[in-house]
Amino acid sequence: MSQHYPALLVIVPLLSALLISIVGWLNKRFCFPIAVAALSVSLYSSVGLLLRVMDEKVILYFLGGWDPPWGIAYSVDHLSALVLVVVSVVALLNLIATQKSVEQEFSEKIGAFYTLYLLLITGLLGIVVTGDAFNLYVLLEITALTGYGLIAMGEDRAPLASLNYVYMGTIGACFYLLGIGYLYISTGSLNMTNISSILPGLYDSKVVLAAFIICIVGVFLKMAFFPLHAWLPNAYTYAPSAVSSLVAPLMTKVMIYVMIRLMLTVFTPAFTFSNLALSNSVVWLAVIAISMGAVLALGARDMKKMLCYVVIAEVGYMVGGAWLGNRAGMTGAILHIANDALMTLCVFLAVGNIVYKVRGYAFEDLKGMFRKMPYTMTGLVAGALSMIGVPPTCGFFSKWYLISGGIQAGQYGFVAALVFSSLINAVLFFRIIEIGYYEPFGADHGHGSSPVRMAEAPLTMVVPLLIVAGGLVMMGVYTGDIITHIIEPIIPPAIGN
């Protein structure tokens, strides 16, 4: 059975989504256990794949029994395995943590919600595993469609935010499809490794350059990289809290994985970094993205919008790091994919807990949170420290690699932007911690301060949060191992130092 892991990984959530959709019409209580079982199987398969990939370099799985490029092939290497594990872990933890709030918000349509949830995860896992360019487009569209639907069930402004996301997401996916078409017209193949073996003879053709630019622009649209980020703050703020803690960590990171896959595997680094004008302009765009994300986060009026702008800044870190063109930068970017997914999950889960108890997420709702919900706030503090970049949390290490990569490449603007945004993150999160800590709830009514009782969120919401917070610290401690065993083999030696 273990040679079927790549297929199991994607098929089990898909089949369970169908099962939940049928069962949801008959009996609503079985939806959640089926979902948990499916995601556990995926997690097990992805961990198994990671362990196998560390022995053999690349795992290939031919679907339908046809060899590539005539059939579709899955190719799992270190990068894919890492992102697979991250996606499965985040999805499973989020599922368990948000069960209560989902029951509260969607009590009638729970079957449909879990169906869409599992379809989203199927799409994300499939994007990471596939080795075929057109298959990636189809999976991208599954992810996008289910994402649109899930986001639109939020509060007041959610449908409009989701509609804007529809427009920009569709343009992005269509640009990607167009780029694949240009590649097909010049190489005749759709398999990623096959394309990369045909391409070196064609590097000076204009079609290939145009294909590269169009594909990358399409992926930038989907990951909300400046200046194409306008859809993200509204979409993630007004989504239901169960949904924003799912899509915020995952969607943008998987798009960054797609970008790195395009840069490293399809268009080999010899081509990607040969055009200096392109790399430099992307790094400068990343600098603007980081600074702008940080500044706009300062001006945000509620927690979720502030966190969305922090996410935009994090995307800027990863894109800039990947385009720096040296080993340290690429290492930092890949490490940051895993770290940032966990950090974002941590803070969004904490906000979700707060929303569940208090029904609001403006800054004023945080007063006295440290007395009322200590465990949640511990998780929030851990996530905040990681975002600022304090050792020994993992955020510090990825920032370290990004900064050293920036210094090596001579992009001092990038380094300055990183330091600037770390400072601003510190300001943002200390502001939140101060509001939560120093203003006792109800004391300003002047009737004498009644002792504040702990009104913590239920256990299923707190335990995953603490697991993630602990994971942040553990990832930081084990960073050295992760880099030597998993990330180093990914980066081909063609990238100069």
- Of the candidates 41, 96, 171, 419, which one interacts with another protein according to CB under 8 A? 171
Residue 442: strand, helix, or coil: coil
Q: Is 433 in the site for another protein (CB under 8 A)?
A: no
CA angle, 280 then 286 then 291, to 5°: 130
* 348 in Cβ contact with 376 (< 8 Å): no
Binding segment for another protein among 76-84, 96-104, 204-212, 422-430 (CB under 8 A)? 204-212
Task: Classify 429 in phi/psi space as left (phi over 0), alpha (psi -120 to 50) or beta.
Answer: alpha
- Of the candidates 178, 288, 407, 426, which one interacts with another protein according to CB under 8 A? 178
For residues 170 and 195, give the distance between their C-alpha atoms in angstroms, rounded to a whole number: 25
Q: Is 435 in the site for another protein (CB under 8 A)?
A: no
- Of the candidates 209, 390, 466, 467, which one interacts with another protein according to CB under 8 A? 209
- Give the shortest CB-337-to-another protein separation in angstroms: 24
Structural tokens at position 402: 């990004």
Q: Which of residues 87-126 bind another protein (CB under 8 A)?
A: 108-109, 112-113, 115-116, 119, 122, 126
Q: Which of residues 135-154 bind another protein (CB under 8 A)?
A: 135, 137-139, 141-142, 144-146, 148-149, 152-153
- Of the candidates 186, 268, 279, 386, which one interacts with another protein according to CB under 8 A? 186
**DSSP sequence for 89-152:** HHHHHHHHHTHHHHHHH-SSSHHHHHHHHHHHHHHHHHHHHB-BHHHHHHHHHHHHHHHHHHHT
Binding segment for another protein among 76-84, 165-173, 336-344, 409-417 (CB under 8 A)? 165-173
- H/E run at residue 169: helix 158-187
* 468 in Cβ contact with 93 (< 8 Å): yes
Q: Is 443 in the site for another protein (CB under 8 A)?
A: no
- Give the shortest CB-202-to-another protein separation in angstroms: 9
Q: Between 8 and 345, whose beta carbon lies closer to another protein?
A: 8
**DSSP 8-state secondary structure symbol assigned to residue 69:** T
Q: Between 187 and 376, whose beta carbon lies closer to another protein?
A: 187
Which contacts of 293-299 are long-range, i.e. CB under 8 A and separated by 24 or more positions?
293/226, 293/421, 294/420, 294/421, 294/424, 294/425, 295/424, 297/424, 297/428, 298/424, 298/427, 298/428
- Give the shortest CB-153-to-another protein separation in angstroms: 7
- Of the candidates 40, 41, 103, 170, which one interacts with another protein according to CB under 8 A? 170
- Of the candidates 2, 56, 104, 167, which one interacts with another protein according to CB under 8 A? 167
Q: Is 189 in the site for another protein (CB under 8 A)?
A: yes
For residues 6 and 23, give the distance between their C-alpha atoms in angstroms, rounded to a whole number: 26
**In 3-state terms, the chain is what percent helix, strand and coil (to 5)?**
80, 5, 20
- Of the candidates 36, 41, 47, 63, which one interacts with another protein according to CB under 8 A? 63
Q: Is 237 in the site for another protein (CB under 8 A)?
A: no
Q: Is 162 in the site for another protein (CB under 8 A)?
A: yes
For residues 106 and 206, give the distance between their C-alpha atoms in angstroms, rounded to a whole number: 51
Binding segment for another protein among 164-172, 270-278, 355-363, 437-445 (CB under 8 A)? 164-172
- Give the shortest CB-292-to-another protein separation in angstroms: 19
